Structure 1
Amino acid sequence: MRIEAVVGYITSQQVDAVVNAANSSLLGGGGVDGAIHRAAGPDLLAQCRRLRETTLANGLPVGHAVSTGAGQLPARWVIHTVGPNAHAGQTDPALLAGCFTSSLDVAEQIGARSLAFPAISAGVFGWSMGQAAQIGVSATQGWHQHHPGSAVELVRFVLIDQAAQTQFAGHLPGS
């Protein structure tokens, strides 16, 4: 599996699945979540509402993941995961690692060969970019070691600026 870190917009990535740093309601929000919902169009919100009406009546728990179609995004799927909010006392690194590993599990289940992650929980959820980078890359590498026959070929961390990209790149293999 190739792991890379790039500066860009997650909504324009040519990958099988993009990971949405969602809130537990799955009904849109700010930041990456809002950008993905806006770019995907109303079909994404409709799919999320169906999930809430059926299997996720209480919302998506922190560290878990679920997939929907991607609406008007270039990707085929959106994998929604809820990152831990450090401001709310959710500071256990295992919660953040779970976002990455659960998303990779879902990617494997749906047959995605490539996926793009944002810096889950960095920024408004209070985790530093360095923490998000270290935990995200480490969790991704660990998942890959435990799934040697996985169809997932590419994990791309898509970051908002060069400073964030540098944080992630510093944890990549061979750096």
Structure 2
Amino acid sequence: MFPLALPAVAQAEQDIVIIGETAEQKQQFQSYWQQLINLNQAAERARPRSAVQPKYAARDDRDLKLQKILRNLKVEDIDLDYIIQLNGSSHLSGILTNENDQPVTVIAVNYEILDRRGNLLQTGSAQPKPSTIGPGQSVTFADTLWTIAPDEAYEVRLLDPAFQVSPDFK
């Protein structure tokens, strides 16, 4: 199940309906939508300032560290495979490698599925197991797509942002 925005432009968390079968799924979807809601705030931070005040300097330093961490996370071997028992469904999987010099906790790998014409079919996120990845370590991530049958013409792409990491990075 996936979160659905109510009709009209969703501007606040109360405008989002979260759908999921488990508390973990609900948390993943809520975090994902919160990131989308906060995109407007990220644009505000990106505007040039005449003078950097101390409260912004700490945020900018943290943002730079986060960008470095995200650049050093690599995904390979993303694949869609048939789920034989469930006709019309597929299993998405891939490998996530941490090329940082410190452990990183990755909460989700965000992706989208496009058809042969480039039309968006579905977006989602998969949780790596384990979610805390040591320096140089690789882990797998996977998700079940109940309504997407694998097709050689489908394209799986990472979203931007591709990863949701734990906010307690150093």
Fold in common (TM above 0.5)? no
Higher helix share: 1
Q: Relative CO higher for 1 or 2, CA cutoff 8 Å, sep ≥ 6?
A: 1
Q: What TM-score does the superposition give when structure 2 sets the normalisation length?
A: 0.24
Higher strand share: 2
Structure ID, larger Rg? 2
